[in-house]
Amino acid sequence: MEQHYRISTLAELWGYSTTTIREWFVDEPGCLVEHHEEACHRRSYRSMRVPQSVADRVYAEHMSR
């Protein structure tokens, strides 16, 4: 079973904002995305979990630029 990371955890580990990290992973295959609806506030949000293998690959791509 592969470890999955929250966007906030990767942002803290790598020293980037959560917005930047979210942009890096928004269209990456393999990431788990949950859509949540808040009925009382009439808005939705999503939470993402990133597998270690995907995180390693994307991080290496961005560091090699």
Query: Which pLDDT does position 39 carry in this prediction?
Result: 66
The answer to whether the pTM exceeds 0.85 is: no
Distance CA 32, CA 52 (A): 12
Please give the share of the chain, as a percent, with pLDDT higher than 90: 72
Select the more confidently predicted residue: 42 or 6.
Answer: 6
Q: How many CB atoms lie within 10 A of CB 9?
A: 15
Digit-coded pLDDT (tens) for 26-57: 999 999 988 777 767 677 777 899 999 999 99
Ordered by start, the domain boundaries in the chain are 4-63
The identity of residue 4, as a single letter, is H
Q: How far apart are CA 47 and CA 62, in angstroms?
A: 22
Judging by beta carbons within 10 Å of its beta carbon (0-12, 13-18, 19+), is residue 30 exposed, middle or buried? middle
Q: What is the pLDDT of residue 44?
A: 72
Give the C-alpha separation, 20 to 18, whole Å. 5
